[in-house]
Amino acid sequence: MKAWHGIVGVLCLFLLIFLVNEFEIFGVKFWGVRKENARREVFEQTQSYVESKRIDLSRFHHEWIQAKTLEDKISIEAVIRQQFANFDEDQIKNPDLKSFLHEVMLK
């Protein structure tokens, strides 16, 4: 009889854990934010994200060089500062692009 109660208790515990996980009863506000933050951090370290940022920076650098007026250069720099605000400069391997990004971010 005691074995029967133990088996039922273990099954109820597994059922409770399953329901909590399935419906995220306790986790939406607390764990959900942390889960999304972790997912974002992993995404920002992927090769495709870093490569797309490098391509964007290369395009902005080319546009900045081709800009004819100071106002054009200032607006390109503002866009760069906005898009690369949370980007790790160490991810850029090209020394010219890296120094350009560093120079723009310091303005």
Domain carrying residue 1:
1-44
Verify that 102 and 52 share a domain, yes or no: yes
The pLDDT assigned to 24 comes to 63
| In a shared domain, residues 99 and 65 | yes
Q: Are residues 33 and 63 in the same domain?
A: no
Q: Are residues 31 and 73 located together in one domain of the fold?
A: no
The whole-number mean pLDDT for each consecutive block of 10 residues of the chain, a chain of 107 residues, reads 78 80 64 78 86 95 96 96 92 93 92
Secondary structure string (H, E, C) spanning the chain: CHHHHHHHHHHHHHHHHHHHHHHCCCCCCCHHHHHHHHHHHHHHCCHHHHHHHHHHHHHHHHHHHHCCCHHHHHHHHHHHHHHCCCCCHHHCCCHHHHHHHHHHHHC
What global pTM score does this model have? 0.65
Q: Let me know whether 36 and 56 are in one domain.
A: no
Q: Are residues 18 and 59 in the same domain?
A: no
